[in-house]
A = this chain, B = another copy of it.
Amino acid sequence: MIVTNEIINDFLQTRQTTEEICAPLTQEDYVAQSANFVSPPKWHLGNTTWFFEEFVLKKFDENYTEYNPQYSNIFKSDYQNLSKTGRGNLTRPSIEEVYTYRDHVTNYLSEFLDDYLTEEVAELVMLGIHYEKRHQELLFTDIKYILGTNPLFPVFSETFEENKIEKQKSKWIKTPKGIYEIGHATKDFCFDNELGKHKVYLHNYKIKNKLITNEEYLEFINDGGYSNFDFWHAEGWEWIKKNQIEAPLYWHKIDGEWHQYTFKGLKKLHLQAPVAHVSYYEAFAYAEWRGLRLPTEFEWETAQDYFDWGKRWEWTASAYLPYPKYKKNQGSLKERTGKFMVNQKVLRGGSVVTSKSLTRYTYRNFLHPHSRWQFTGIRLAK
């Protein structure tokens, strides 16, 4: 059963939140692309608008006229072209024009939904809403990368606290061996890679109720963790040597003291905060150094009720693979999570910049092992 008001409210709320995230940006911040894995904020605003125009308005509203036929070329997702090169020259259309485009689609769609909300449309709009919520997180992390690689280390927000501390005492959560059920099973929205509730067999294991802190990670650094081949995957070792990596992303040693770039600008390293911006290679090496290991995504999902998760995306030992009952989306949309199910690792939990609508315990995030610009952290198991 479709509840029109709820969907429209959710849609309008999502559109507004996206724009609120961007509020502290200067006009120029919207256009930079300081790494090829980063998209300019302007592009995120356009792409999430193109989604609703392309898959809802153009398909279901006979009276709708495309706002600007060239925008599709600029703002579409392009799965066939992995490189995002070329998004860095989108100085035009201006950010005002992009906001006008957004408003146009937002208004048009909310009116359209008011009159013609079918099951099919509702499903697409819900997908679009969650698609946009994922881009809200990317906005945060892309903005952090753009500002955080600027030698001026500009402040994004004086109030946004990314270093939320876990105050509970560290302890091991024990789970007995047996069959457990994994996957999404409610009527609530989820992405296709979470679907197909299914059984897995788990062995006895223990998992920490708490993330690794900056202080703990610092011990690894001070103990020569980045110089000891024994702790690293062969490819991880090659990666840290080639890129001269000796600390998490955004860490800077200034006059002998460690600092970290945060949304509040450059600050002294917050020792009690959970470590962030480490790659899977680093998370694995840290666990090796401790003589422990990372949990699988199934162990995580089974024990998650005992954690206060949601501060960092937590690297798991699991590769990103389809669940046993995985079905490719066959709709016109073909939002294809399966396209990426190779050479990536699963992360669970969600971070301080993840939309609350996406922080469910079945959500499967995925990244390449060397990725660091998300708020990625470490939880240990044994």
Interface residues of A, Cβ cutoff 8 Å to B: 26-34, 42, 70, 73-74, 79-80, 82, 86, 88-95, 146-147, 149-152, 154, 177, 179, 198-201, 203, 229, 232-238, 280-281, 284, 293, 317-319, 321-322, 324-325, 338-343, 369
On chain B, the residues within 8 Å of A74 by CB distance are 151-152
| Nearest CB in chain B: distance from A340 CB, A | 6
Report if A31-B34 is in contact (Cβ < 8 Å); known contacts: A93-B152, A150-B91. no
On chain B, the residues within 8 Å of A80 by CB distance are 229, 234, 237
When C-beta atoms are compared, the residue in chain B nearest to A73 turns out to be B151
Q: Assess the B32–A147 pair: CB atoms within 8 A.
A: no
When C-beta atoms are compared, the residue in chain B nearest to A284 turns out to be B342
Q: Assess the A343–B343 pair: CB atoms within 8 A.
A: yes
Copies in the complex: 4
**16 intermolecular pairs with C-beta atoms under 8 Å apart:** A26-B94, A28-B92, A33-B88, A34-B86, A70-B151, A70-B152, A79-B229, A80-B237, A82-B234, A82-B238, A92-B150, A203-B324, A233-B340, A236-B342, A319-B321, A342-B369
When C-beta atoms are compared, the residue in chain B nearest to A205 turns out to be B324
| Nearest CB in chain B: distance from A74 CB, A | 6
Q: Assess the A92–B152 pair: CB atoms within 8 A.
A: yes
When C-beta atoms are compared, the residue in chain B nearest to A238 turns out to be B82
Alpha-carbon separation in the docked complex, A152 to B72 (Å): 11
When C-beta atoms are compared, the residue in chain B nearest to A71 turns out to be B152
From B28, B95, B177, B232, contact of A95 by CB (8 A): B28
When C-beta atoms are compared, the residue in chain B nearest to A343 turns out to be B343
Alpha-carbon separation in the docked complex, A33 to B34 (Å): 9
Q: Assess the A32–B91 pair: CB atoms within 8 A.
A: yes
Q: Assess the B89–A32 pair: CB atoms within 8 A.
A: yes
Q: Assess the B234–A89 pair: CB atoms within 8 A.
A: no
When C-beta atoms are compared, the residue in chain B nearest to A94 turns out to be B26
On chain B, the residues within 8 Å of A94 by CB distance are 26-28
Q: Assess the B149–A86 pair: CB atoms within 8 A.
A: yes
On chain B, the residues within 8 Å of A318 by CB distance are 321
On chain B, the residues within 8 Å of A89 by CB distance are 32, 34, 146, 149-150
| Nearest CB in chain B: distance from A222 CB, A | 22
Q: Assess the B203–A341 pair: CB atoms within 8 A.
A: no
Alpha-carbon separation in the docked complex, A236 to B338 (Å): 12
On chain B, the residues within 8 Å of A33 by CB distance are 88
On chain B, the residues within 8 Å of A147 by CB distance are 91-92
| Nearest CB in chain B: distance from A283 CB, A | 11
Q: Assess the A34–B235 pair: CB atoms within 8 A.
A: no
| Nearest CB in chain B: distance from A180 CB, A | 9
On chain B, the residues within 8 Å of A95 by CB distance are 28
Alpha-carbon separation in the docked complex, A199 to B30 (Å): 52
Q: Assess the B200–A201 pair: CB atoms within 8 A.
A: yes
On chain B, the residues within 8 Å of A30 by CB distance are 28
